[in-house]
Homo-oligomer: A and B are copies of this chain.
Amino acid sequence: MPVGTAGTVKAVTQDVLEELGAEIILGNTYHLYLRPGHEAIRRMGGLHKFISWPRAMLTDSGGFQVFSLSALRKVTDEGVEFRSHLDGSSHFFTPEHSIDIQIALGADICMAFDECTEYPAERSRAEESLRLTMAWARRSLDHFRAHQHEVPWFNEFGGKSQSLFGIVQGGMYRDLRRESAERLVGMDFDGYAIGGLSVGEPPEMTQEIIAEVLPLLPADKPRYVMGVGYPDQIERYARMGVDMMDCVLPTRAARHGLLFTSEGRMNIKGARYAEDQNPPDTACNCPVCRRYSRAYLRHLMQAHEALSGTLNSIHNLAYYLGVMERVRKSLQPESGVSGVS
């Protein structure tokens, strides 16, 4: 899932996202709550209409950004008091509030409010954090069930509603992760995410936790690993059985000149590309590789041109979506490759 933090996958138009075959994009509840505000978006019919995106969307719970971006005031069992990174204003998020906001935004998939356990974390800290996340998951689900009919498009789609996913936490402690997964599955969410990964731990540990948790989550519901990863990682996780992932990497790296290609990573700022008329990735058929050269993309970066971020992002998104498409095809029974059988 390309990440559209503030209601836009940075520097890329919705037209192009559709052309690239993006079926679902992510929006960040924290950002949209602060600006333009969830009530404004609700009044305009929800996020899909507001940003003109008819395909699927997912909103996170806001928790991750509260912990990573804002000036934190206080975490209690009730919720989190924080100051906006934009203007320093004071806000209070509870699980109920996060769900209310996400219902107002009206994405197809909402996420339970959780605390993302930092890395490294002592066992006692991970236990306490997990206790909080499980209590908040319960409250998120109860509040969602009581209010899900309030989604702006409820009547428009014949009483259809959103889905709510629970989030497995537990730090890097396998038994805590198992406990978290089992308790969430007992609550019966519409899908399950593994959160608190890619927070600084070594990649082998990320994979270990995914391998530990995945078999405990029902395979007939979506299984989502949050905030990962590099192309080789998302391919590996997908082959392990992960259905959904999101990551800012393709677009953020693009803005810094890092391209993902079939021959590995390419820093397009490099002087070696100054007169290189090959497409960024000779094996790629994306709108950027069909039309532009490495030399041109390098020039755009050197000249600090806005088009640089746009073209680099389009290629990286195409590359990521291409990785997932190949994995999907190889996992289909008729392909003869038995990734899941």
Contact = CB atoms under 8 A, between A and B. Distances in A.
A15 B288 CA distance: 10
Interface of A: 6-8, 10-15, 31, 35-36, 40, 43-44, 49-52, 274-275, 277, 287, 291-293, 295-296, 299-300, 302-303, 305-307, 309-311
Given A8-B300, A8-B307, A13-B311, A43 B291 contact: no
A35 B274 CA distance: 11
Contacts of A296: 7, 50-52
Contact of A310 (B287, B302, B306): B306
Contacts of A303: 6-8, 31, 35
Contacts of A8: 300, 303, 305, 307
Nearest to A305: B8
Contacts of A50: 293, 295-296, 299
A260 B292 CA distance: 30
A12 B52 contact: no
28 contacts: A7-B296, A7-B300, A8-B300, A8-B303, A8-B305, A11-B306, A11-B307, A13-B310, A14-B291, A15-B287, A15-B291, A35-B302, A35-B303, A36-B274, A36-B295, A36-B299, A36-B302, A40-B275, A40-B295, A43-B275, A44-B293, A49-B277, A50-B295, A50-B296, A52-B296, A306-B306, A306-B309, A306-B310
